[in-house]
Structure 1
Amino acid sequence: MSLFVHLHSLIILSFIFITFFQTKPHSSSSSYIRLPSIQSISKPVHISVTDYGAIGDGIHYDTVSIQSAIDDCSAGGGGRVVFPPGKYLTATVFLKSGVVLEVQNNATVYGGTRLEDYPTEQNRWYVVLAEDVEDVGITGGGEINGQGLEFVVRFDERKNVMVSWNTTGACSGDECRPRLVGFVRSRNVRVWDVHLHEPAYWCLHLVQCDNTYIHDMSIYGDFNTPNNDGIDIDDSNNTVITRCNINTGDDAICPKTYDGPLYNLTATDSWIRTKSSAIKFGSASWFEFKQLRFDNITIVDSHRGLGLQIRDGGNVSDVTFSNINITTRYYDPSWWGRAEPIYVTTCPRDATSKTGLISNLLFVNISATSENGVFLSGSKTGALSNIKFLNVNFDYKRWTSYEDGFVDYRPGCQGLVNHSSAGFMMEHINGLEVKNVNMRWVGDRVKRWNNPLDFRPSSVDNIALINFQSSSYGQQTS
C-alpha cells in the first residue's frame, strides 16, 4: 500500500471518529466541542532496538541503543521503533518527531531508579520524554514500568513514605520523584494499546500539547503510593481519552492550568479506581477550563469522585458529566477527600489567591453510592452559578469504620472542618437546578443523615427543586 493511500485511509477514519463523537454542550450558547483530528503517525519503517545493540535482560542499561534507534528513525522520516519481547532497563529516552514506540507483547521498558538516570532539570524527569515534537506515539501491547515500588522508603497501609531527591538539591519538597511518560509542547500525540505500570510519580503527563488521542490502554499504580496520578493534562487543548482502565493511588484524570487555558477535553467509556479523586480539575487552576465532557465512566473505591478544586483564580464553564456510576468511601484523613461523590469549590488556596468562577455545569444520569454527600462550595467573591443536576440517584450508606462528620476543603482554604453529614452541603451558590433527583439512606439516618439539604439562605440563591425525593431504605436503628 502506498503512503498516500495509507494517509488517505486514516484521514477518512479520523473524520468518521470526529463525526461520531462530536456533541453539543448543555449550554445552548456554546459552540460544538471540537475533537482532535488524528493524522497518521505510523509509517511503514520499523527499526528494532535490538539491531542497535539493546540486550533486553533488565540488568544492563539499554539507553544508548534505544536513543540511537529513535534518532535514526526520526532522521530517516519517521516510523516505528520496536521493542521485541524482553526487559529493557533505561535512563530517560527522548522521543523525536515522526516516531512511534512499539513496545510489543511480553516486552517491558523499565525506568531507572537512580538520580543520575534523569536529566539535571527536575521538570524533565521522565522515563520517556517528548519535547517540541509532532506525530508521535506509544503502542504495541507491552508495558512501560517506572518501578515505583523501588522508591518506597517505608510501606504503610495508610500512605507509603516515598523517596525524595530533595536532599540532593535537585529539587525541593516531598514530591521529588520521576514521572513515567511526558509529552511537552507537542502536537498530534497518540497513546494506545500499551500498559503504563507503577509510576514513581505522575504516570502520563501532557503539557501544552494540542491534538492528543489516548485510547484502549491501561494505567496501574500502587494504591498506597501518593502522587502517582494517572493522566495529568496541563494547559493542553483538543484531547480525547476513551476506553481506558485507570487503577491508581492518586488522582486518575486531572486537568490543570498552570500557564495557559485548557479547552476541549473529552473523556469517555472508561473505568477508574483510585484512592483519591477519579476526575479532578486543579488544584493548579490559574487559567480557564472550558468545554469539557465526561461520559460513560465507572468510578469505584474512590476517596472523592468528581472534583473541581478551583483555588487560583481560573474560571470553569461549559462542563458536562453524564452517564457516570460512582462509588466512594472513606480512607485515612491523610488523603484529601471525605468520600464525596461530587465536590465543587472555588474556595481560594490562601489569602493571596484570586477567586475563580464556576458556571454552566451539568450533571446528568449520575448514580452514586457513597459514605458522604455532595459538596458544593463557592466563595464570597466567586459564587457557583448555573449548576444543574438532572436524573441523579444517590444512595448514602456507611460500610467502613473511619470517622465521619467532617467537611474537607483541602488543599488550602479551611482544611478539615467539623460538620455533620448532609445529602447536599451548599454555600455561595447563585443558580442551582435539581430535577429528578432521588436520595436514599441506609441505616441510622437520624444520627448521621438528618439533613438532605444543608445551606444558609444568605449565601445560596435561586434554587429550583423539581421532583426531588429523599427517603430511607433498609433497617433503621435507634
Structure 2
Amino acid sequence: MRNRKMTFSIQSAIVTLILYSAIIQSGSYTSSSIRLPHSQSRSPPVTVSVTEYGATGDGVHYDTEPIQSAIDACSSAGGGRVVFPPGNYLTATVFLKSRVVLEVHKNATVLGGTRLEDYPVEQSRWYVVLAEDAEDVGITGGGEINGQGLEFVVRFDERKNVMVSWNQTGACSGDECRPRLVGFIRSKNVRVWDVHLTEPAYWCLHLVQCDNTYIHDISIYGDFNTPNNDGIDIDDSNNTLITRCNINTGDDAICPKTYDGPLYNLTATDSWIRTKSSAIKLGSASWFEFKGLLFNNITIVESHRGLGLQIRDGGNVSDITFSNINISTRYYDPSWWGRAEPIYVTTCPRDNTSKTSSISNLLFVNITATSENGIFLSGSKSGGLSNLKFLNVNLNYGRWTSYEDGLVDYRPGCQGLVNRSSAGIMMEHIDGLEVENVNMRWSGDRVKKWNNPLDFRPSSVDNISMINFHSSSF
C-alpha cells in the first residue's frame, strides 16, 4: 500500500449539485422540462370517465373493457385525462396510449387481476397498467393502483413468503413468474405523480428504455416479506428524475439496471426508503454502462442494505454521486441478500461466462449511518474498483438484532456468503481510495470481536489516502 493521495476530481459532482439545487429552487423543473401529456395534442384535451363506458367500480366484476374503451376514446380525441371516480375497479391488463393521463381519484382503486388469463401471453407484458411506445403519458389523481400481491402468497413466512409461480403452467420458467404493477416501455415524456402504488405481486413501477421521465410525490408500499416486489426499476432508461417519494417495500427500492442498453442521467432526491433489501442498488443486471447518476437528500431506515452497487455482467460504472444521505441498516434473515452494510460496492463476474466490469469515480459526501455492519468495498482480481472518495462521513456501529454476523455477502454469483471478521470498512481489490473527514464509532459488548476499524488486504488495495480519519469505541 502506498500512502499517496489519489487523483480524484469532484468538480463535476459539485456542479451537478449546484445546478440541481438551482433548478428545484426556481421551480423550473416542471411540465416545461417534462412535457405534460396533452402538450402535443392537436385539439383541446378531453376528460373521459370510465363510468361513461360502463365501468361499475364494484371490485367484483371486471372493468377491463370499459377502462380500455375510455383510454382509446381519449387518445383518438387527441388526448386528455381518463378519470376513475371513487370505487374499486378490477381489471386485467389495460394499455395506456399516447397523450393520455390516468386520473385515479382519491378513494378510487384500480385492482389488478390475480389470474394468469388476466395478462397477455408474453411474460414481458405482464403489467396491470402498461404503456408501450407511447409519448406524453402519465398517472395521477391521489388514488391507488393495487396489484393484490398478498393474493399471490402460497405460504406466509416471517422469513420470506412463498409466492405463486405460474411456471407450473408453462407460461415461464423460474420462481418469479408473477405480474408487475405499472410499466412504461420504450416511452417518452412519462410523468407519474400524486398516486399510491401498492401491493405489487412482483416489481412495482418499471421503466424500460424510456426517455425523459418525471416521478414525484408518490408512495409505494409492498409487503415486507414478499420477495421481488421492487419499488422503482429503471432499465436502460435515460434522463430520469425521481423526487419526493416514499418507498416501503420488501425488495430493492430504487434499482437502475442495464439489460439492453446504457443508463445515463438519473437523479433521485428528497425521498424516504425502507426495505428488506437494498434501498438504492445499481445492478445486478449490468450488461451496459451506468454513468452520470446523482442520489441526494435521501433517508434510509431499517433496511438490509443502504447504498449498493452489484455489478456482475461486464457493464462499466462511472461518475456516481451519493450526497446528504442518512442511513440505518440492520440484519434480517440471510435468505435476503445483504448483511446490513450501509454502503456496499462490488464488481465481480457473475459466472465463468461473464465479462469483467469496472467501477470508478464514486463520491460519497455528507453521509451519516447507523448500522449493524461495516462498509464493504470489493473489486475482483480481474475487475477494477478505482477512484472512490468518502468526504464528511459519520459511521456508527452497534448490534441490536440476534441474527448471525461475521458474514460477507457476495451474492448473486461470485462467492456467496463468506465468513470474515467484521470491520468498519472492509476492502479488497481497490486502486485509489480517498477518505477525508470520516468518523467511525462502535459500541457494546457484541461488537468487541471486530478486529479493526479498517480491514484490507494489502496485496490488493493500493493508493489510499486517509485525511482526518477518526475511530473510537464507547
Shift of 1:383: 1.8
Equivalent residue runs for 1:23-172 within 5 Å: 25-26=12-13, 37-42=33-38, 44-172=45-173
Shift of 1:450: 2.3
Equivalent residue runs for 1:148-297 within 5 Å: 148-297=149-298
1:409 aligns with 2:410: yes
Q: 2:231 corresponds to which letter in structure 1?
A: G
Question: Match for residue 324 of structure 1?
Answer: 325
Shift of 1:27: 8.2
Query: 1:25, 1:320 within 8 Å by CA — same for their partners in 2?
Result: no
Shift of 1:325: 0.3
1:419 aligns with 2:448: no
Separation in structure 2 between the aligned mates of residue 420 and residue 359 of structure 1, nearest angstrom:
26
Structure 1 residues 30-85: Cα deviation after superposition (integer angstroms, max 9, x where no partner)? 9x899892112146411000000000000000000000000010011000000000
Equivalent residue runs for 1:266-415 within 5 Å: 266-415=267-416
In structure 2, runs of 5+ residues without a counterpart are 1-9, 24-28, 39-43
Separation in structure 1 between the aligned mates of residue 291 and residue 111 of structure 2, nearest angstrom:
37
In structure 1, runs of 5+ residues without a counterpart are 1-22, 474-478
Select between 444-453 and 201-210 the one with higher mean Cα deviation: 444-453
Shift of 1:414: 0.1
Across the aligned residues of Structure 1 and Structure 2, the Cα RMSD in angstroms comes to 1.8
Question: Match for residue 463 of structure 1?
Answer: 464
Query: 2:37, 2:98 within 8 Å by CA — same for their partners in 1?
Result: no
Query: 2:306, 2:329 within 8 Å by CA — same for their partners in 1?
Result: yes
1:429 aligns with 2:416: no
Which structure exhibits the higher relative contact order, with contacts defined as CA atoms closer than 8 Å and separated by 6 or more residues?
2
* SS of structure 2 residue aligned to 1:71: helix
* SS of structure 2 residue aligned to 1:390: strand
Separation in structure 2 between the aligned mates of residue 163 and residue 446 of structure 1, nearest angstrom:
40
* SS of structure 1 residue aligned to 2:357: coil
1:441 aligns with 2:442: yes
Separation in structure 1 between the aligned mates of residue 352 and residue 446 of structure 2, nearest angstrom:
37
Query: 1:27, 1:360 within 8 Å by CA — same for their partners in 2?
Result: no
Shift of 1:352: 1.2
Structure 1 residues 83-114: Cα deviation after superposition (integer angstroms, max 9, x where no partner)? 00000000000000000000000000000000
Query: 1:25, 1:319 within 8 Å by CA — same for their partners in 2?
Result: no
Shift of 1:456: 1.3
Structure 1 residues 413-444: Cα deviation after superposition (integer angstroms, max 9, x where no partner)? 00000001011100010000000000001113
Select between 43-52 and 289-298 the one with higher mean Cα deviation: 43-52
Separation in structure 2 between the aligned mates of residue 149 and residue 446 of structure 1, nearest angstrom:
38
Query: 2:369, 2:396 within 8 Å by CA — same for their partners in 1?
Result: yes
Distance 1:28 1:266, change over 3 A: closer
Question: Match for residue 18 of structure 1?
Answer: none
Q: 1:465 corresponds to which letter in structure 2?
A: M
Shift of 1:381: 1.8
Q: 1:39 corresponds to which letter in structure 2?
A: R
Question: Match for residue 16 of structure 1?
Answer: none
* SS of structure 2 residue aligned to 1:26: helix
* SS of structure 2 residue aligned to 1:150: helix
* SS of structure 2 residue aligned to 1:422: coil
Shift of 1:186: 0.3
Distance 1:195 1:29, change over 3 A: closer
Separation in structure 2 between the aligned mates of residue 147 and residue 384 of structure 1, nearest angstrom:
41
* SS of structure 2 residue aligned to 1:38: coil
Shift of 1:351: 1.3
Separation in structure 1 between the aligned mates of residue 15 and residue 92 of structure 2, nearest angstrom:
50
* SS of structure 2 residue aligned to 1:301: strand
TM-score by length of 2: 0.93
Query: 2:356, 2:382 within 8 Å by CA — same for their partners in 1?
Result: yes
TM-score by length of 1: 0.92
Separation in structure 2 between the aligned mates of residue 49 and residue 281 of structure 1, nearest angstrom:
39
Separation in structure 2 between the aligned mates of residue 461 and residue 72 of structure 1, nearest angstrom:
63
Question: Match for residue 13 of structure 1?
Answer: none
Shift of 1:29: 12
Separation in structure 2 between the aligned mates of residue 409 and residue 297 of structure 1, nearest angstrom:
25
Question: Match for residue 19 of structure 1?
Answer: none
Query: 2:399, 2:446 within 8 Å by CA — same for their partners in 1?
Result: no
| Aligned length in residues | 451
